[in-house]
Structure formats: structure tokens, C-alpha cells
Amino acid sequence: MPALLRQLSGLGGCTHPIRLDGHRTEYDLNTRTGEIGNVLHHLDSSSLPAGHLLVRCNNRRTTRCAACAEVYRRDTFHLITSGLRGGKGVPERVAAHPRVFATFTAPGFGPVHNRPTGPAGAVRRCRCGALHDQDDSALGTPLDPDTYDYEAAVLWNAHAGPLWRRFSTYLRREVARRAGLTQRAFREYARVSFAKVAEYQKRGAVHFHAVIRIDGPEGGDTPPPAWATAELLTDAIRAAATAARVDGPVIDGRAHAFAFGRQLDVRTIRSADFDGGQELTERAVAAYIAKYATKGAETATGALDRPLKFLAELAQLDLSDHARRLIRTAWTLGARKDLEHLRLRAWAHMLGFRGHFSTKSRRYSTTLGALRDARAEWRRAQALAATETGPDTTLVLAHWVYAGTGLTDAEAWLAETLEPAPGTEGEPTHG
């Protein structure tokens, strides 16, 4: 029993681990001659207490695995933070680079129930006449479902990723123009870096939150030119967001095209409280973005967080009528040959959006993979500390195959009573 408890504790609270069959053998290695020596350690899955090697699922969605989603949230927080104030291999000088926090919204597809606010922040009545509570399930649903443009709403989600890429291209062009440079010359003076996350509004439309920064030509390692200011960056973002546009399909004689909505919020990141004023702290921005990194379309669809095999499955799901119509629309459009490149049936549960929820430019900061590798290296170092063998004097040969997913009922019951093993939960985000 103690061995099983140790194996389950090593999952760090993961409730849907991957089960693997196979083996791992560690040999002594002569680093001078390259000769392979004696077997130092052999692990076979059949000898493990659970009968398999158990590996964390690493799913980022809270609805699928709360423990792995929390690790993903913490990692995203540190990824964003390191790009704002340094650390994790990023120089601290990035804190002095011009950076803003921007929110890009979707266009309108028809009036929806909402909670409008006045100049003083007081909540006013919706167009329907009601004063909606912030948890009212009607929020985000159409005032008139029969006139709501469900087709355009689904196609917007399907084209939101390409629209962001178009905006990124235009942004570099607009920054260069304001600096009096050609795009080719701009690369010799500066670089635009970003990290963004996608979020579903209650109406089921994707929008983006992004940290955008101007660096020197080699990224965060080099200072930006003197002309690079937050004001210049803000002006360039507004111009690029207004100009960005992608053409969509022509359906039954109707030509679709997509651009960002009129509501564009761009705020300089300096200091103060995220909720209390006009200025933002690095920590507050990182926490805000990390919060959405673990969510999918659940804001609009409830608990639906996996692909549908058949449309008939909708009858068994607890969904709002609005979410059902969005999913049905995606499914119907997905049957069209001219739209098969959008894979709308495969992504109907995401209301047509098939992009990554959390992305960044190459030079913004560290990577999620680097953070995971550092965590794994720490655990390996802890294991090696109990032996006299160094990591550079061994050869490891391993072969693993997929054997299933999840815990048995008994394993799940035991796992609920355990504290996660050290080094499995990700670095805390306090402080």
C-alpha cells in the first residue's frame, strides 16, 4: 500500500492520468570509452503498484482536470510575468520596455441580453427592460434568436485566429510607419513581442486579451529605440486593429468578411491596481490572462469540453438554447464541401474556434515547455540525490505504449486523501 500511495501522490492531484505499459532500464555508462556497463535500475510497468506507469494528463481545462489546469494556470502566470518584469531567463530590463494590455472584441451578430453601465459604473436596465443579475443565465443570449446571425457568429470564431495573424502583420507595419521606417529597416531597430489568450464572451464569441511589448532588434535582451513609447504602440495597435480584415466564405450568395469589433481597450501597463484604477500592474495582468488560459468554451456552453461524434449527443447535454443553436450551426456548416478546411464539425464543441487558447511570439519570454522541463529536472535531481550516480554517467533506454486513461475507483478514492508530491504542482503565483 505505501508504494501505491507514493505512485498516486506523484501525480500531483491529476484525476485523469495516462496509463502506460512498458519498461525503462538505466545502465552504467563509461563516459570516456562509451562502453555500456551493468544495469543500475530496471523498471517494468507490471511491477508497479497500479500495474501501469501513471503520467499526468496535463490537460489545461479546469472542467477536465482541476489539478493539471492549476499547474497550467501557474505556468501561464509565470510566462506572462517573466515577459513583463524579467526572470526565467528573461532580463529584468524588459520592465522598462513600452508595453500595453489590449482587449480585442468580436463584432456584433445581433442584440443580446446584457448589463450596460453608466458613466459612474452603475448598472442600467437591459433593452429587454430587466435589470439582470451578473449570474443571470440570460446574459449573452439573443433578444430575438430568430434574427440573430448564428452563421456569422460561428464563422467569426473559425476566422478569429487568421484575423489575429493579419493584425500582427499590420501592427509591425504601423509601428514602423510611425517611426519613419520601412518594414525592412524596422527589423534592424525594434521588434514587437506579444502574449495573448482567447476568451469566450457569454454570447459564444471569441475575443483576445494580449500583452504587447516593443523590444530592441534581438527581443527582450536589447533595449528598444528612444522613439518607442507606449503612446506610439497604443496608436499603432488601434490603427492595425481597424485595418485588419480577413475574407470569409461565400454562402448562398452572401460574402462573409471579418474584422474586430468596435470595442477596443488598450491600457498602458505601469503600476497600481488592476481593479481599482486606469493603470495596471504586471502581476494583475498576468493573473488576469492566466485565469482564462484554463478555460474553453464553457462560458457559453457549460460543461461541454470535448468533441461531438454525433449531433444526436446534444439531446443528452445540459446546454442553453443559444449554445445548442451555435453548435447546430457549426455542425450544419461543417457538412459543406467548400468549408471542410475549417473542420467545423470537429470543433463544433468550441463553437467553430480551432485556434490555440494561449500563444506568444518567440521572443516574448520563456516557454511552457521550458517550465515543465525545469520541474522535471528538479524531480530528477531529487531522485539522484539519494544515489551516488550522476546524470551524466548513465544511459537510459525506455519503451512505453498507451494502455488507457484514468484511475480505478479504488485509486481515485485513495488519491483524494493524498497531498501532492513536492515539485508536481507548479511554482506558486503569490509574492
Q: In whole angstroms, give the CA distance from residue 196 to residue 178.
A: 24
Lowest-pLDDT choice from 230-234, 319-323, 394-398? 394-398
Inside any domain, residue 313? yes
What is the identity of the amino acid at 36?
I
| 273 and 332 share one domain | yes
Q: What average pLDDT score do residues 295-299 get?
A: 66
| 35 and 165 share one domain | no
Q: In whole angstroms, give the CA distance from residue 431 to residue 286.
A: 13
Radius of gyration of the chain (CA): 25
Q: What average pLDDT score do residues 298-310 get?
A: 75
The predicted pLDDT at position 272 comes to 42
| 259 and 359 share one domain | yes
| 235 and 322 share one domain | yes
Q: Three-state SS across the chain? A: CHHHHHHHHCCCCCCCCEEEEEEEEEEEECCCCCCEEEEEEEEEHHHCCCCCEEECCCCCCCCCCHHHHHHHHHHHHHHHHHHHHCECCECHHHHHCCEEEEEECCCCCCCECCCCECCCCCECCCCCCCCCCCCCCCCCCECCCCCCCHHHHHHHHHHHHHHHHHHHHHHHHHHHHHCCCCHHHHCCCCEEEEEEEEEECCCCCEEEEEEEEEEECCECCCCCCCCCCHHHHHHHHHHHHHHCCEEEEEECCEEEEECCCCCEEEEEECCCCCCCCCCECHHHHHHHHHHHHCCCCHHHHCCCCCCCCCHHHHHHCCCCHHHHHHHHHHHHHCCCHHHHHHCCCCCHHHCCCCCCCEEECCCCCCCHHHHHHHHHHHHHHHHHCCCCCCHHHEEEEEEEEEEEECCCHHHHHHHCCCCCCCCCCCCCCCC
| 360 and 375 share one domain | no
What is the extent of the structural domain holding 411? 2-58+369-415
**pLDDT, tens only, 322-381:** 999 999 999 999 999 999 999 999 999 999 999 888 889 998 988 888 888 887 777 767
Inside any domain, residue 126? no
Q: What average pLDDT score do residues 128-152 get?
A: 93
| 166 and 292 share one domain | yes
pLDDT confidence of 76, banded at 50, 70, 90? confident
Inside any domain, residue 104? yes
Does pLDDT of 302 surpass 70? no
Q: What average pLDDT score do residues 20-25 get?
A: 92
| 188 and 51 share one domain | no
| 224 and 261 share one domain | yes
pLDDT confidence of 299, banded at 50, 70, 90? low
Q: How far is CA 408 from the centre of its chain?
A: 30
Non-local (6+) Cβ contacts of 388 within 8 A are none
| 257 and 403 share one domain | no
Residue (of 370, 369, 379) closest to 423 by Cα position = 379
Instruction: Please tell me the total count of domains within the chain.
Output: 2
CA angle 338/341/345 to nearest 5° reads 95
Does pLDDT of 59 surpass 90? no
Q: In whole angstroms, give the CA distance from residue 97 to residue 106.
A: 29
Inside any domain, residue 387? yes
**pLDDT, tens only, 253-264:** 999 999 999 999
Check: CB of residue 341 under 8 Å from CB of residue 161: no
Lowest-pLDDT choice from 100-109, 167-176, 299-308, 327-336? 299-308
Angle between helices 368-384 and 66-85 (to 10 degrees): 110
The predicted pLDDT at position 273 comes to 39
Inside any domain, residue 352? yes
pLDDT confidence of 276, banded at 50, 70, 90? very low
Inside any domain, residue 315? yes
The predicted pLDDT at position 186 comes to 95
Q: Cell numbers 551516488 correspond to what residue?
A: 388
**pLDDT, tens only, 209-244:** 999 999 999 999 999 999 999 999 999 999 999 999
| 96 and 183 share one domain | yes
pLDDT confidence of 274, banded at 50, 70, 90? very low
| 195 and 268 share one domain | yes
The predicted pLDDT at position 195 comes to 93
The predicted pLDDT at position 391 comes to 53
Inside any domain, residue 426? no
The predicted pLDDT at position 29 comes to 80
Q: What average pLDDT score do residues 123-144 get?
A: 92
What is the identity of the amino acid at 282?
E
| 277 and 164 share one domain | yes
Inside any domain, residue 377? yes
Does pLDDT of 430 surpass 70? no
